[in-house]
Amino acid sequence: MIGKNKNITDNQEAKLKYSDGEFDVLVDGQYVVCAVTGNKINVSDLKYWSVERQEPYESAEAALAGYKKSS
């Protein structure tokens, strides 16, 4: 299984700009949506994203799947 569901009760999605090793918050929110699984990811838990595609991923497996999908 690629992802795991997390119970996120806040319904405000954040908008982020992804850079190498960091991201900037453009719109405050509690979560972003994984580009592969569609699951919500707490911004404080976000570890994987693509700078090139500006996409967040909930896990290394999801990031790899996103990379393979775009290749």
Instruction: Categorize the per-residue pLDDT at 1 as very low, low, confident or very high, splitting at 50, 70 and 90.
Output: very low
Q: Could you give the dihedral angle defined by the CA atoms of residues 47, 16, 53 and 48, in that order, rounded to the nearest 10 degrees? A: 0
- Segment 14-34 shows an average pLDDT of 98
Do residues 49 and 42 touch, judged by C-beta distance below 8 A? no
27 pLDDT more than 60: yes
Per-residue pLDDT tens over the stretch 30-54:
999 999 999 999 999 999 999 999 9
Domain ranges of the chain: 15-70
Beta bridge partners of 59: none
**Rg of the chain (C-alpha set):** 11
Tell me what pLDDT residue 9 has: 53
Q: Is 0.75 surpassed by the pTM of this model?
A: yes
Tell me what pLDDT residue 6 has: 52
